[in-house]
Each structure stands twice: as C-alpha cells, then as structure tokens.
C-alpha cells in the first residue's frame, strides 16, 4: 500500500499500519529459528514459494521482514534484503549479476572493503574488473566489454566525497542493458534516492547512518522483487548471511531518528568543513557542501543534503596528520561512521589499508588524508577540539652545549 507521507513521517510509522498485528506500537523481536505449519501441504507451499510465509530463520524472520519493507519504501524500491553486514550486501549484489568470465566496471573511488572483495575473492572465481574514473561518464563507455555485466559506483565516495552523475551513468547502463549498482551508505535514503535517478540496485552499510548508534552491523540491498528474491534464496540463504532479529530491531529503532540525526550531521559537517577550509594549517578540504568542491553543483542537483563526512589534508603531510589525530581530546579515533560521536580516522592505514600503496596513490588516498565523521555534538565544541589539535607543534630536541 502506497502512502503519501513525508519521509520524516515514514521513518517513524510503519508503511502499512500504525501498529503491529499484536497491537504493539514497537515492532516485536521474533528470533525464532523454526516455524510451525498446520499440515505438510502448507509447509511445502511455503518452502516452494507458492505461499507467503517463513519456514527457516536463515532466510529471514518477521522482525527483519518489517524492516525490509520499510527500507524498500524509503528507497522507492519494490523489495529489500537485510543481511549481516555492509560487505555482505556489496558481495551479494555483485555476485547476483557476475559469474565466472564476467566483467564489472567499478568506480576508482571505492571503499577499501569493496576493493579487497574484487581483488581477493572475485578474481578467484574468474570475475574481471576495471577501476574507472567515473566522474567522466565517457570513460565508462571506453571500458565496457562484451562480457561486462554490471557497473558499480559509490557517490559520494569514500573517502574523497567524489560525486558521480547518477542519471548519466544510469543512461549508459541502460544503453548496454546492464544493471547499475550504487552504494548509498554515505547519504542514506534521507538525502539521496538512486533508484529514482535510474539505478537498478542500491546497497547500504546499515551499520552506519541507518542504525546510527554504533551498536549493530548490518547491510541492505534494494531493487526489484525478482532480483531481491533471487538474492535471498540463492545467495544470502545459501551463504548464511542473514540479519538477526535483534539487529533488525535496533535498526528499526534507529530509523525513527534518522531525519533529525541527518540534519545535525549535515549542519555540523558544513560548519567544520568551512572552519577547516579557512584554517592556515589545512591544505585541502573535501566536502560537497563547499562551493570549492568540483562537483558542488551536481551534488545540489541529486542530493537533498551534503552528508556528515568531511575529509581533508594538512599542509605538512603524514606526520602533521598523525600529530593532529593523536592530539584530539573530544573526537574519537575509530573505524566506522554515522555514529552520534564524531569519529576520526586515517584512511591509508585504516579503512583503505587493503589497497596497496601504489594503488592508493592512483586513487588519491595520500598518507596525509584524514576523514572525519561528524557526530551530533555541539559544533563549537568540535571546532575547539580541532583548533587545539591543529595548533600542536612538533617536539624539537634541544642539544645542550656545556
């Protein structure tokens, strides 16, 4: 049932009913592994797919199904699949279209985990790939082969916040009759809806903004019903990557505050990006909300907000970056993003460590690059912490002469 609710309302209320079948306002946690049937014919019908129902927890659970319905609705897709991590979502989405001998075009600005999956696992099964500068859609044309079966992009990218033209790239994918898969983690459905712009599949690390509290690992894939059914029955279930009822409950809870959280994330990010861009110790800032960003106008066209991630480089490079990070007192050094706490990390040695140094340099991931995930704190407190860390000078050994 389609409703005309604004997204802020849809995040809080169930898409089909104001409360659950039990009457509870909050979705119940149903962690059952097995489910009973009145007779063998019903059991067989559910297993074969002739009748709707749940028969084994490896293929999902009622709590997860409620969450999947909500995620599909938020992204404007026919169906969604909740899985055990963001990497589970990425790998399932790719494996749904790729087999031995197939080829995929991948944006060069890609998450380190995606890079490692392609270079470490996909190649073992005869899957080919090319990393392409997708800021120019014409470059994609140049890398399409007879065996190309998918295009995979991130926008904004991790960690450079590169923005790709979803509409133009989707036109290319349709021209060749191949699916376009987009990682929408940095935006969430609140700020960007790739399916409406022509994408075929959207993936999320729900560990990040969808959950928003740093206490659940999960992933989502959104697309048409046939593709999602295939992924559930022939990949997710067989690989054992189902999302638990407890994690589904945490994300259902987290989604209710996604709107207000994203507004604060975006507000803080813009203030911090502006502060950093005007600081004498900062060489360059990457944030699509700044007019200096090369795809600023495109970002305004296809995004409803600029997100909560800011990356930047200091003028004195790696050592200055290390000194800066180690001098922070409020901001936490950690992996992940989208949490209430502001997190800082060094991509070259953390999230993108799996990419060899020579490849990182090609992708522009320098040793001096720093990524901030802006949390929900007061922006003034964050700026004060950044300011004091930026002003810490290197220690100088003084030789005493007698």
Beta bridge partners of 182: 153, 202
- Looking up tokens 């700026």 gives 383
- What pTM does this model have? 0.93
Element (H, E) at 171: helix 166-176
Which candidate, 150, 152, 138, places its Cα nearest to that of 107?
152
What are the tens digits of pLDDT across the range 218-239? 999 999 999 999 999 999 999 9
Q: Which fold has domain 7-255?
A: 3.40.640
Number of C-beta neighbours around residue 300 at 10 A: 14
How far, in Å, CA of 317 to CA of 319, rounded? Answer: 6
What are the tens digits of pLDDT across the range 104-128? 999 998 998 999 999 999 999 999 9
Upstream peptide bond of 289 is cis (omega within 30 degrees of 0): no
Task: Report DSSP state, residue 69.
Answer: H
CB neighbours of 329 closer than 8 A, spacing ≥ 6? 385, 388, 389
* Annotation marks residue 51 as catalytic: no
Considering the segment(s) 258-390 as one domain, its CATH architecture is: Alpha-Beta Complex (3.90)
Confidence of residue 269 (pLDDT cuts 50, 70, 90): very high
Angle between helical axes of 379-390 and 258-277 (0-180°, round to 10): 30
* 3-class secondary-structure state, position 107: strand
Note whether 7-255 and 258-390 share their fold: no
Catalytic residue among 102, 109, 183, 339: 183
* Annotation marks residue 99 as catalytic: no
Domain ranges across the chain:
7-255, 258-390
Cβ atoms of residues 60 and 198 within 8 Å: no
Catalytic residue among 35, 56, 58, 284: 58
What are the tens digits of pLDDT across the range 161-216? 999 999 999 999 999 999 999 999 999 999 999 999 999 999 999 999 999 999 99
Catalytic residue among 208, 232, 264, 371: 208
Catalytic residue among 102, 108, 111, 152: 111
* Annotation marks residue 58 as catalytic: yes
CB neighbours of 375 closer than 8 A, spacing ≥ 6? 265, 268, 308, 339, 340, 341, 342, 343, 382
Cβ atoms of residues 394 and 376 within 8 Å: no
* Annotation marks residue 111 as catalytic: yes
Structure tokens at 337: 């993003």
């Amino acid at each position: 049932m389609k409703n005309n609710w604004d997204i802020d309302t849809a995040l809080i209320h169930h898409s089909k009913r104001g409360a659950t079948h039990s009457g509870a306002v909050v979705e119940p946690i149903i962690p059952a592994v097995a489910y009973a049937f009145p007779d063998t014919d019903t059991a067989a019908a559910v297993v074969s797919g002739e009748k709707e129902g749940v028969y084994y927890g490896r293929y999902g659970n009622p709590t997860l199904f409620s969450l999947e319905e909500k995620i599909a609705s938020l992204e404007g897709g026919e169906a969604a699949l909740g899985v055990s991590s963001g990497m589970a979502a990425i790998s399932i989405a790719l494996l749904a279209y790729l087999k031995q001998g197939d080829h995929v075009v991948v944006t060069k600005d890609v998450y380190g985990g995606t890079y490692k999956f392609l270079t470490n696992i996909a190649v073992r099964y005869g899957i080919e790939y090319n990393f392409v500068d997708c800021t120019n859609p014409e470059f994609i044309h140049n890398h399409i082969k007879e065996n190309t079966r998918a295009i995979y992009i991130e926008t904004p990218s991790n960690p450079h916040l590169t923005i790709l033209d979803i509409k133009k790239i989707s036109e290319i994918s349709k021209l060749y009759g191949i699916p376009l898969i987009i990682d929408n983690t940095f935006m969430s459905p609140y700020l960007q809806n790739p399916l409406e712009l022509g994408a075929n599949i959207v993936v999320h690390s729900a560990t990040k903004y969808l959950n928003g509290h740093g206490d659940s690992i999960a992933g989502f894939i959104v697309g048409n019903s046939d593709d999602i059914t295939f992924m559930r029955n022939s990949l997710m279930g067989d690989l054992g990557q189902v999302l638990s009822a407890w994690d589904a409950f945490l994300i259902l809870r987290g989604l209710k505050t996604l709107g207000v959280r994203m507004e604060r994330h975006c507000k803080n990010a813009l203030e911090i990006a502006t502060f950093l861009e005007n600081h004498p110790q900062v060489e360059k800032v990457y944030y699509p909300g700044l007019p200096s960003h090369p795809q600023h106008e495109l970002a305004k066209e296809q995004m409803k907000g600029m997100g909560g991630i800011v990356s930047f480089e200091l003028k004195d490079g790696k050592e200055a970056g290390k000194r800066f990070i180690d001098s922070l007192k409020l901001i936490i050094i950690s992996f992940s993003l989208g949490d209430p706490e502001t997190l800082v990390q060094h991509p070259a040695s953390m999230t993108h460590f799996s990419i060899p140094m020579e490849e990182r340099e090609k992708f522009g991931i320098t040793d001096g690059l720093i990524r901030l995930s802006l949390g929900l704190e007061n922006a003034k407190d964050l700026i004060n912490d950044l300011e004091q860390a930026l002003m810490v000078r290197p220690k100088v050994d003084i030789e005493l002469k007698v």
